[in-house]
């Protein structure tokens, strides 16, 4: 086989070398898969944290908006003009 201008001679692997290579490949695959699963879990947790924060902010604005509209309605009932 030739690569980058050099000639390489490939030799067949022994059954033991094939077995060791397969174990190494399996181990590296499992490590990659585990890392990937951890990253997905962290991303899901981050997304959940963001949704919870958004819900808190949304609730605060909704609550504040309800208070303001209620006060405006009360003010209208007492002959006061609504300020915008």
Task: Note the helical H segments in the chain.
Answer: 15-77
Please report, in tens digits, the pLDDT of each residue of the chain (84 residues total).
888 999 999 999 999 999 999 999 999 988 888 888 788 888 888 777 777 776 666 656 666 556 666 666 666 655 555 454
Burial label for 72, CB within 10 Å (0-12, 13-18, 19+), is middle
Non-local CB neighbours of 30 within 8 Å, separated by 6+ positions: none
For residues 34 and 55, give the distance between their C-alpha atoms in angstroms, rounded to a whole number: 31
Note the pLDDT of residue 27. 92
Note the pLDDT of residue 4. 92
């Amino acid at each position: 086989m030739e690569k980058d201008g050099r000639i390489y001679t490939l030799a067949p692997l022994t059954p033991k070398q094939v077995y060791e290579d397969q174990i190494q490949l399996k181990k590296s695959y499992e490590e990659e898969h585990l890392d990937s699963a951890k990253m997905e879990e962290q991303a899901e947790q981050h997304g959940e944290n963001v949704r919870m924060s958004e819900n808190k902010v949304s609730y605060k604005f909704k609550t504040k908006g309800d208070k303001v509209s209620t006060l405006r309605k009360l003010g209208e009932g007492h002959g006061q003009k609504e300020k915008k």
